[in-house]
Chains A and B, each alone.
Chain A
Amino acid sequence: MVLIAILIGCILGAIIGTNAPIISYTYSSYLAIAIIAALDSVFGGISSVIKKNFDLKIFISGFFGNAILAILLTILGQKLNVDIYLAAIVVFVWRMFTNLGIIRRYYVEKWTDKLKAIKKNRNKTNENNENVS
């Protein structure tokens, strides 16, 4: 269900994004950092859905708050002539990997469980067959 929503959202976004007007190159660095923040939020949201502690308010506030904070940090960095956005990217990517790890573990465990169940079932049926025969 969530996967389908993600797919539909991405495809629709791609269509709208390619048809959207071009923005000035000046804002490109801010936009990039906002993308990373939003990506982190989405992964965080998915992982929280998996962990079953998803909170809508936290997700939305995180989605926008992180992006805005990242942009502000980038602006501050440009004003101070320090590349602060690198720190933001490091943190977001770190969290992305962590969340991705959670998601991966969940699905791998799910699959292994399923495989085990199938094997068990097959063994059971085999036993049953043997018993029958």
Chain B
Amino acid sequence: MKRKGKITVTITIGLSCLALSIIMFMQFKLVNETDITSIENMREEELRTELGNWKEMYEEANTQYEEKNQTLQEYKEKAESDTETSALVNQELERVNLLLGKTNVEGEGIVITLQDTTTDSEGNILSITNDNLNIIVNELKLAGAEAISINDERIINMSDIFMINDNTIMLVNGQRILTPYIIKAIGDQTYLESTLVGKGGSIDELTKQGFDIKVEKSNKITIKKYNKDINSKYMQ
């Protein structure tokens, strides 16, 4: 009985020693294999939680980034449409300005130079009147002129051509102009010229009266813009 008990004791202690040394050597190996300094004494658990935190943060940042990206895209689209509309509006504005005479324009046309005074066969001194200029301008308009100026005073829809002070001072757009009168017109050269110089045309008439008038065709005429403000006070 005693001997049997001793054997069991021996076996038990031997087995426990076996288990103990197994896990001990496993642990030794583990500690040997693990590079502890590289993780700077941080436990894996901590590292894992840290990693989890970072992942979460990354995900959050990512979603935020995506949201921002989306809004940015929306803004971009908006801006694009805005620029489109603004470009259209700009184009319209330019066109309107061009038609109103608020821009310098270039194009083919004719230049008419009128010397103010002449003496007819009976010795009377004749001079160009506002009526002559009005008629010329009207004829140019009739012939399809798109832009007209007299001595760089742009003729717009509300322009006036008028003589004051006993028909001695010529006003265009309320501005005094002096001889020689240079009328520039942009339009079809042939039409303009033929309308004016052709038989019954005003320049034809004036030449017959003895005025010194030159008509030149040109492929590139620059007509300056109307240099006052166009205001409306009573129109609504």
Do A and B form a real pair? yes
Query: Which chain A residues have a beta carbon within 8 Å of chain B's beta carbons?
Result: 1-2, 4-6, 8-14, 16-18, 20, 22-26, 28-29, 31-32, 34-35, 38-39, 41-42, 45-46, 49, 54, 56, 59-60, 63, 78
Give the contacts of B1-31 with A (CB-CB under 8 A).
6, 8-31
Instruction: Say yes or no: B9 contacts A54, CB within 8 Å.
Output: yes
Instruction: Say yes or no: A8 contacts B26, CB within 8 Å.
Output: no
Query: Among B14, B33, B45, which residue has its beta carbon within 8 angstroms of that of A78?
Result: B45
Instruction: Say yes or no: B26 contacts A23, CB within 8 Å.
Output: yes
In the bound complex, residues from chain B placing their C-beta under 8 Å from that of A20 are: 22, 25-26, 29
Instruction: Say yes or no: A26 contacts B6, CB within 8 Å.
Output: no
With A2-B9, A13-B22, A49-B9 in contact, is A38–B16 under 8 Å at CB? yes
Q: For the complex formed, measure the closest distance between the CB of A104 and the CB atoms of chain B, giving whole angstroms.
A: 18
Select from chain A the residue with minimum beta-carbon distance to B27: A31
Interface residues on B, range: 20 to 34
The verdict on B124 contacting chain A, using a C-beta distance below 8 Å, is no
- Counting chain B CB atoms within 10 Å of each CB, the highest count among A9, A46, A54 belongs to A9
Query: Among A5, A14, A26, A46, which residue has its beta carbon within 8 angstroms of that of B21?
Result: A14
In the bound complex, residues from chain A placing their C-beta under 8 Å from that of B29 are: 17-18, 20, 22
> How far is A70 from B23 in the complex, measured between Cα atoms in Å?
15
In the bound complex, residues from chain A placing their C-beta under 8 Å from that of B13 are: 2, 5-6, 9, 42, 45-46, 49, 59
